[in-house]
A and B are shown apart, each in its own frame.
Chain A
Amino acid sequence: MSDLEHQSAALWAEDVEKFYGDGTHALRGFSLHIPAGGFFGLLGPNGSGKSTLIGMISGLVRAPAGCISVFGCDVVAQAPHARLQVGVAPQDVHLDRFLTTREVLEYHGRYFGLARLEASRRADELLEAFDLTAKANTKPNRLSGGMRRRLLIARALVHRPRLLILDEPTAGVDLKLRRELWAYLRTLHQEHDTTVLLTTHYLEEAEELCERVGFIRGGQLIAQGAISELVERYGGDDLEDAYTEAMR
């Protein structure tokens, strides 16, 4: 990959290694390049390294060996620049219980540099977009599971990141809401040119949304490509067949 492609790539991870203190080798020479504007699905079993990768990109997992950059900004050497480009909706729901739904969005916006008034306007915009306006003054622990999921995605979007990372965003969400979230993500991706990295265990979700998909197993990217390419490579009728075959 040329230097220009590296600079313009939304995510550029090269030979990333990560050992945890307990000896777990979470990522082994992991490399992944996602071009700007792409919608990429990263699929793999639990413990395959997806959340470790996301933690590294967002600064929640300590500096790895290898290199990760977001839109040309190294996530270690230029951490503040890189973090401003990234919005993460994590797998686990951790919301500040001292704040209301609106305040969760406002404070997150301000943590990412929005002025107070701008953060407030943006919070209202997202509350409406995610159908949470009626719950604006409710504490997160009083929201339903689906509402909390929506709030997490809304929170990831407050500072208008160029790379949106969704770590199993629809886990535990009913089918209706899942489809609504899909529609919103499609719009976001197409109309606002946001690059999306999605991890999910729902293969139909990846088929529905992703332009390209990668399979991760044991901390290594074992395959990537358009869904049709993967199906052709591994055989079967659909992504599920290809995934099952690849993970054998």
Chain B
Amino acid sequence: MAVAAPTARELRTVQRRAMWALAGREMRRVLSLWTQTLLPPVLTGVIFLAVFGGVLGDRLQVADIDYLRFILPGLLVMTVVAQAFANNSTSLFQAKNEGYVEDVLSSPMQPWQLLVGYMSGGLLRAWLAAFVLWLLAWPFAGGIEHPAVTVAALGLCGLIFAALGVITGMWADTFDQHSFIANVLITPLAMVAGVFYSVDRLPQPWETLTYFDPIFYLVDATRYGYTGLQDTPTWAALTVAALVAAGVFALAVTLLRRGWRLKA
């Protein structure tokens, strides 16, 4: 028997279920492909920590704290940035490229629900990889000074790059385009965001230019949360991150509403 048109309340239930179903599908994909989604970033992070924190750590000192403790917050940010972005851009790119994105595009979900559904996988992957990396480093790097700030910074970091990943997945028509953003924009911005050094050690104009890198604020806020050290006021860093997150989320919703590069 066919169903009649739902009431507004029923429709909200329908849409909520749909969003959770998509989120569940995305998160399941991450967990079922854990050797591709979770293991590599944890391994990479551990190797960075072992090389820079362990092997070279004795010769490197920043702001009178152990170098491994200094770089860990930045490595957590790099992990969240790379994984949130890569997961969502890849998942949506595959869905678009293979055509099965039509399944969700023709569903009754609102654009923001589509976005949340697609972001879920990237957020799980990013936060879980960062959490495992932190657990492994904890005995060597020590505890967290301000847990709420650390969680807020890594949370915003995930939201920004998960949404950016969705936008890139919508934009990319080829695998080369898809890789371009990660290789040419995200990775370089992450590498010069002060993960391995304090920004005040840079000569001009590099010090000033670093302040234009949004990832710098995420690294700085996370480092403050973890170690108490900071280059910029934490409230400013978190405010910038929150504004960028809101802007990227709004942009992604607008593009999904228009069906940008998804609909003919």
Contact = CB atoms under 8 A, between A and B. Distances in A.
25 contacts: A20-B264, A79-B108, A80-B108, A83-B107, A84-B11, A86-B106, A88-B106, A90-B102, A94-B99, A94-B102, A94-B103, A96-B95, A98-B25, A99-B25, A107-B103, A111-B21, A111-B103, A112-B14, A113-B6, A113-B14, A155-B103, A159-B3, A162-B2, A192-B2, A194-B2
Contacts of B20: 110
Contacts of B259: 62
Given A84-B14, A92-B99, A194-B2, A110 B21 contact: yes
A61 interface: yes
B123 interface: no
B257 to A, nearest CB: 10
Best-surrounded residue of A83, A86, A112 (most CB of chain B within 10 A): A112
A95 interface: yes
A130 B110 CA distance: 31
B201 interface: no
A151 B88 CA distance: 27
B103 A96 contact: yes
B17 A94 contact: no
Range for the number of chain B residues in contact with chain A: 35 or more
Interface of B: 1-6, 11, 13-15, 17-18, 20-22, 24-25, 28-29, 32, 95, 98-100, 102-110, 258-259, 263-264
Contacts of B104: 111
Contacts of B99: 92, 94
Interface residues on A, range: 35 or more
B264 A111 contact: no
Contact of A98 (B1, B3, B18, B29): B29
Interface in A101-123: 107-108, 110-115
A85 B15 contact: no
A112 B28 CA distance: 19
A146 interface: no
Given A111-B103, A111-B109, 8 more contacts: A58-B106, A61-B263, A88-B106, A92-B99, A96-B25, A107-B25, A112-B108, A194-B2
Nearest to B15: A80
Given A60-B264, A80-B108, A83-B107, A111 B18 contact: yes
B5 A193 contact: no
B222 to A, nearest CB: 32
B25 to A, nearest CB: 6
Nearest to B99: A94
Contacts of A81: 5-6, 11, 108
A108 B106 CA distance: 10
Binding site secondary structure of chain B: helix
A43 interface: no
A57 B102 CA distance: 13
Contacts of A88: 106
B98 A97 contact: yes
Contacts of A98: 25, 28-29, 32
A85 B106 contact: no
Nearest to B11: A80
B48 to A, nearest CB: 30
B21 A160 contact: no
A111 B6 CA distance: 15
A59 B11 contact: no
A192 B1 contact: yes
B102 A60 contact: yes
Contacts of B100: 94-97
A78 B21 CA distance: 22
Contact of A59 (B3, B106, B258): B106
Contact of A113 (B1, B13, B105): B13
A113 B264 contact: no
B263 A162 contact: no
A59 B25 contact: no
A110 B13 CA distance: 11
